[in-house]
Amino acid sequence: PGEKIIFYPSLKETIVETVEQWNKQLISAGRGESIGITMKDQIFVERGNIAVKENQPLAITEEIRARIFWLGKEPLSANKRFTLVCTTQEVEAEIIFIHRRIDPETLNILQENAQEILTNEVADVIIAPKKTMAVDRFEEVPQTGRFVILGKNGISGGGIVLEALGLSSRTDTS
């Protein structure tokens, strides 16, 4: 209670008044705990926003440089749309560029500037979500730096964020 929090990617700010957990008040809570909070300000926070402490900002981005592992039965081609799920964010997205296809067994580069990724291949890509997302580099914060790709029949792949491109990295909210 009393701590300033910011919701990403909307950048709405407020002060935490109370922290609750099933029939009890808490003094604090940590990452991954299931809690409720009462906020000082009455603000609407859309599904998928991530609450963080004021001094721990996320990157807000329109493009993500990522490494993915493709499990789909059909090849994944550039410009094909899918659902990208990162933490509580669920966004329609597409691959806009495939830098390279990589053999998952040897980690040798199979092809530079590829047009598609085959089943069970790794690839370095640029992903364009249809709306801004809040992410971290996987190396910095794994929880907000990894994602899954949903296709028509469920999970079709997964990946890690190598870099946030587009809007900002480490947005300043002051």
- The pLDDT of residue 126 is above 90: yes
- CB neighbour burial string for 118-148, b if at least 16 within 10 angstroms, e if fewer: eeebbbbbbbbbeebbbbbbbeebeebbbbb
Rounded Cα distance between 107 and 76, Å, is 19
Q: What phi and psi values does residue 142 have, to the nearest 5 degrees?
A: -55, -35
* Per-residue pLDDT reduced to its tens digit, 127-157: 999 999 999 999 998 989 999 999 888 999 9
* Per-residue pLDDT reduced to its tens digit, 72-114: 999 999 999 999 999 889 999 999 999 999 999 998 999 999 9
Supply 162's token pair.
């190598």
- pTM here is 0.81
Kindly state the percentage of the chain with pLDDT values over 70. 95
Residue 143 three-state SS: helix
